[in-house]
């Protein structure tokens, strides 16, 4: 199956999970998938509800994680995935996403992927977003995923 994401205002992990649930992946299957990560059950929850975004109905998936900012290395993410009960293909694809993120951060910071400290990307909610998205795409048998260009705003931000 082929899927297309129209992204006039960007996309977040929660939004992507909502798209997958709207496309037919059950919220119970999402929860079951994340439970296979063997993260402590009191550290995360996933809720879903119907919302209106302007004139459009959508499913809002809300991922909650108890931990604050947890700095993990790529090796830590690999260990979480390998210790899980997820199918090997889901583990490999999720690790490929994190590996690509580590390579991008390493390039920006002038270091190597194994030395990168994931900040927000290493937090439980981000791990749930990535693993959930990878598993949902597989469950819905989406072989190709296309997306519109992401919006790039003008101006400057002081950070």
- 78-133 pLDDT, tens digit per residue, is 999 999 999 999 999 999 999 999 999 899 989 998 888 886 666 888 899 999 99
CB distance 16 to 129 below 8 Å? yes
CA 44 – CA 133 distance, rounded (Å) = 16
Nearest by Cα to 132 from 42, 2, 51, 12: 12
pTM > 0.85: yes or no: yes
pLDDT more than 70, % of the chain: 95
Q: For residue 32, which phi and psi values (nearest 5 degrees)?
A: -60, -45
């Amino acid at each position: 199956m082929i899927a297309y994401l129209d992204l006039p205002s960007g996309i977040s992990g929660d939004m992507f999970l909502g798209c997958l649930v709207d496309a037919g992946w059950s919220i119970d299957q999402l929860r079951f998938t994340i439970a296979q990560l063997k993260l402590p059950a009191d550290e995360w929850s996933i809720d879903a509800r119907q919302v209106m975004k302007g004139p459009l109905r959508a499913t809002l998936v809300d991922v909650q994680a108890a931990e604050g900012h947890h700095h993990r290395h790529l090796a830590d993410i690999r260990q979480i995935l390998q210790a899980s009960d997820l199918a090997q293909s889901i583990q490999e694809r999720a690790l490929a996403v994190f590996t690509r993120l580590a390579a991008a951060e390493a390039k920006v910071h002038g270091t190597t992927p194994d030395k990168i400290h994931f900040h927000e990307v290493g937090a439980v909610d981000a791990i749930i977003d990535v693993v959930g998205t990878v598993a949902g795409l597989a469950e819905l048998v989406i072989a190709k995923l296309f997306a519109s260009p992401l919006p790039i705003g003008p101006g400057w931000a002081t950070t």
